[in-house]
Structure 1
Amino acid sequence: MSEISLPLPVARALLGPMFAVMFNARLPFTVQRRLMDLGAAGQLLPRGTRVERLNLGDRPAERITAGPVSDAITVLYLHGGGYTVGSPTTHRALAAVLAREIGCRVHVPDYRLAPEHPFPAALDDAEAAFLDLVATGYRPDRIAVAGDSAGGGLSLALALRLRDNHGYTPAALGLIAPWTDPNEIPERSRDLVINKPWSRACAAAYLGDGDSLDPGYAPLLGELHGLPPTYVQADVDELLHEQCLRLMAKLQAAGVTAEFTETRGLWHVAQAQATLVEPAAKVTRELGEFLRQALRPAQTRSIG
């Protein structure tokens, strides 16, 4: 259950204007970041949540727990925000729900953001964070990687880099409405959360002087064979829905075990409001169950 349960129409009416203010291409990214951090104060944390601050891959990070944990498994969670905004603070509630559902520590690195640090800074930081977890004793196949939106794209790009550069395969990928091809221009102007001018500004800021066809920047363009079991979630009304369908088709063509859940009536990364809205809590629990099964393969209860 969510900590409280706002009716969906009420939640949408409250959140829509907030998103319109925060994700405004006319605002400096520094201002957007501050607004997001302030807005995170309204997200309730599950009872028993513990937040520890540490360094991970030479970057600040948070380690989140919310109840009993297994020392053998963990999740590396890469937050969304168009590679330009967002932080462990903005995604603390979502990380805590996953920590509670899986029964493990969830590590959320504060990776560098564009435009100050364009591609591949975020990917370099994600790689360093994963390798640091391995160095501290976690087996690569007992680390799941998850993320939302840009963090979902970053999770996929990280899995490709780990495969190609280190021969590592994480336990699983959990991708919430992943932005896997920033080159793609949405047909519609906006959904409840994201608008086209803002997303194009983020894509340009993150690319900088890089190659837009580099799979590190647009992992949907890469070769996806050999990836771990992957779970993708998206709402049918969001701008990234069609891109998620393309990703699923490509994963399946590459022989990757992949599952897809479509929601109706939610919004882009509604999982961040899992402690406020019961339908968002339900789909977040499903993600947690998928990751728990991958991290603890002897337990075979199906998600749902």
Structure 2
Amino acid sequence: MFQPLLEVGLRQIMYRLVRPLLSNGVSLHLQRKLIRQAYRTSVPPRNVRFTSDTLGHVPVLRAQANTHSAGTLIYLHGGGYILGSAATHKGIAGHLAKLTGCEVIIPDYRLAPEHPYPAAPDDAEAVFHAVIQEGKPADKVAIAGDSAGGGLALVLAMRLREHGHALPSSITCFSPWTDLTSQQLYSPECEPVLHSSWVLKAAKMYAGGETLTEPRISPVFGDLKGLPPTLIQVGSQEILLNDATRLAEAAKTANVDATLEIYNGLWHVFQTHSAQLKRASDALVVAAKHIRRYLAE
């Protein structure tokens, strides 16, 4: 009985407190400041240690729950490429560190509009190569991300493939933003988090002068052939539902081992509530199993 009531309460909090912040009527400076405060409710497990570091000239946070690491997970945070940070995503990264047994590395990649495309994928690729240079083989490295970070994880894998580098063991995407044109957004009866107008404005800030259909900006338009096994989780109450379903269809067309999970009645990146919401915790358990399954022994 308690969990359904909690879902209702969290949905209302998102709709009444978070969604108004992600509006074009609020300055980006204020959005960044307030979103940092909002993410304080997403807390990591107590036994996860966080340390600051620099990899490939990119600031990162390292999260580790165990002395012995089962592998490395590079987690790319969301925020429309214009807000968010490694610090805002300590909660979800910490839970993944505990569930996977991996060291989780969260890059503080550069944000638009100060640093438009290709700054974010450049930074993500630099961190990946730095992890490999530390002596970790690619088949012991997984990548994951939420929202813009989910799209960025796909772009990173595509870049690595195109440059002839070894690919990560798997990809995990939470509510991935894969089509920045906003031309095929879903229209749920209730959208507790995102405004379509804000999403499109963020896309234009990020793309700079590039076309929004460029595959390295909107990976759903790209060639996904040869990408690692991919798990996609999305809520039914979000405008990015079509981004997820279209990604799954494109991946399967390209013969990628792709799994799509739609969580009925949940919202954009609901996994951030894993400390409170059982269905969010359950989703992260599934994600952790996917990550562990493909890590080399």
Q: Quote the Cα distance in structure 2 between the aligned partners of 1:62 and 1:107.
A: 6
Q: Which residue of 1 aligns with 2:282?
A: 282
**Residue-by-residue CA offset, 1:5-58 (whole Å, 9 max, x unaligned):** 972111112222221232121222221111111122222221201110001221
Structure-2 residue corresponding to 1:184: 182
Question: Paired residue for 1:234?
Answer: 234
TM-score normalised over the length of structure 1? 0.92
- 1:106 — aligned with what? 104
User: Taking structure 1 as reference, are residues 49 and 132 closer, same or farther at Cα in structure 2, changes over 3 Å only?
Assistant: same
1:301 corresponding residue in structure 2: none
How many equivalent residue pairs? 293
Letter in 2 for 1:84: I
Alignment of 1:1-304 (within 5 A): 7-70=6-69, 73-185=71-183, 186=185, 188=187, 191-296=191-296
Q: Report the AA paired with residue 141 of structure 1.
A: D
Higher mean C-alpha displacement, 271-280 vs 16-25:
16-25
Structure 2 alignment gaps of length 5 or more: none
Measure the CA separation in 1 of the matches of 2:226 and 2:160.
11
Alpha-carbon separation, structure 1, partners of 2:253 and 2:89? 32
The AA in structure 2 aligned to 1:140 is A
**Quick check: 1:101–1:288 contact (8 Å CA) kept in 2?**
yes
| C-alpha distance after superposition, 1:44-102 (max 9, x if no partner) | 221201110001221111001123542x6100000001000111111110000111010
Distance 1:61 1:28 in 2: 26
In structure 1, the residue corresponding to 2:16 is in which secondary structure?
Answer: helix
Quickly say closer, same or farther: Cα 1:144–1:176, change in 2 above 3 A. Answer: same
Q: Which amino acid aligns with 1:31?
A: L
Task: Name the CA distance, whole Å, in 2 between partners of 1:132 and 1:166.
Answer: 16
Distance 2:265 2:212 in 1: 33
CA distance in 2, matches of 1:18, 1:110: 25
Contact 1:75 1:145 in 2 (8 A): yes
Give the TM-score taking structure 2 as reference length. Answer: 0.94
- Decide which moves more: 101-110 or 17-26: 17-26
Query: Which residue identity lines up with residue 284 of structure 1 in the other structure?
Result: L
Moved more, 136-145 or 35-44: 35-44
AA in 2 matched with 1:290 = H
> Contact 2:171 / 2:228 at 8 angstroms: preserved in 1?
yes
| Percent identity of paired positions between Structure 1 and Structure 2 | 36
Task: Tell me how far apart the structure 1 counterparts of residues 15 and 24 of structure 2 sit (CA, whole Å).
Answer: 16
Does the residue aligned with 1:168 lie in a helix, a strand or coil? coil
Contact 1:68–1:103 (8 Å) recurs in 2? no
Mark the runs of 5 or more structure 1 residues left unpaired by the alignment. 299-304
